[in-house]
Amino acid sequence: MTRKKSARVPPVTADRLLRGWSGPGGTRIRLAAPGDSTGVAELLLLADGMGLDPAVEQGINAGTVASTLLTGMRQGTSEMLRPIAEAAAAGRPDEAMSGLVMVLVAEGNDGRLQGVLQAVPPGNVLSEAHAAGVPLPLALVAATKTAKIQGLAVAEHARGQGLGETLLRRAVRTYFQLGWLLAYGQFSAGSGLEDYYTRQGFTVLPAGEGIDLDRISVPVVIRHGPEERLFTRWRPAGTPA
C-alpha cells in the first residue's frame, strides 16, 4: 500500500503577510497596516484590559510594524539580524526591537477588525540578562529567538469561528520560519484558558514554573506574576527556517 505524501506547506512570504490569507467567517488575516491602530487598541482592551503601546501604535500608523521580520523574508535572516547587531554594537539595542513586533489582524468583509494578535520580543528578558552580566550579543539571542504572545483578542460577535486559533497559527509559523525557537505567553490563573492553549499545541506550565532559556544558551529564566501561568511552544527539531 502506497502511503500518500502530505502536501508541503509553502513558506510565508512578505507579500503574503502584507496582503493576508483568507480566514474563518470570510475574514482576511494580515499584518496590521496604517489605519488599523484604533481597531487594534479597542480589541486589545478585551485581552485583560491591556492597552496598545504608543511605540507599537506609531509603528502601525507608519507602516513599519514587523519591518525587521519582513526584511528576513525578503533578504534572508542574515540581513534581518544586521540592524540588530549594529544597534547592539552602538549600545542602543532597543532601537532594533520595534521591527521584531508583529501585529496580526482579522479583517471582516465590512472592513472592521474582528480579531488581533500582538507578539513582541521579550524586552524584560533582554534587560534582565544584560543586568546580570550576560554579554549584550548573547542577551540579544533571547530577542531574536523568543517571541512573546502579548495579546490575543477576538470581538465578541466573531467568537467561535476559530479566529484566535488562526491568528496564533499564522504568528507562530512566521516566527519559526525565521529561525525563532520559542513562542510563549501568559494568562491569568483561573481564567480557564489552560485547555484552549493546550488545544492550540502549546504546553501550559504548572503554576509557579518559569521557562529556562539555558536551552538556547541564555542563562535567564522567564517568570510570571503570582496570579499567572505560562504557555510555551518550542520550535520542533528539523523545522525549516
Q: Which residues pair with 228 in a beta bridge?
A: 188
The predicted-structure confidence for 197-229, as pLDDT tens digits, reads as follows 999 999 999 988 999 988 888 888 888 888 899
Does residue 156 lie within any of the structural domains?
yes
DSSP characters over 74-95: HH-HHHHHHHHHHHHHTT-GGG
Residue 239 belongs to some domain of the structure: no
pTM of the predicted structure, to 2 decimals = 0.91
Q: Tell me which of 197 and 93 has the higher pLDDT.
A: 197
For residue 179, is it within any domain? Answer: yes
The region, left, alpha or beta by phi > 0 then psi within -120 to 50, assigned to residue 60 is: alpha
Number of domains, the chain: 1
Which one, of 84, 80, 73, 40, lies nearest residue 59 by Cα?
A: 40
C-alpha cell at 203: 504546553
Q: Is residue 6 in a domain?
A: no
DSSP track, 140-159: HHHHHHEEEEEEEEE-GGGT
Q: Please report whether residue 54 resides in a domain.
A: yes
Structural domain includes residue 1: no
Res. 93 pLDDT band, cuts 50 70 90: low
Return the CATH number at 58: 3.40.630.30
Task: Give the C-alpha separation, 115 to 105, whole Å.
Answer: 6
Range of the domain at 178: 14-234
In whole angstroms, give the CA distance from residue 134 to residue 163.
39
Q: Give the C-alpha separation, 224 to 124, whole Å.
A: 11
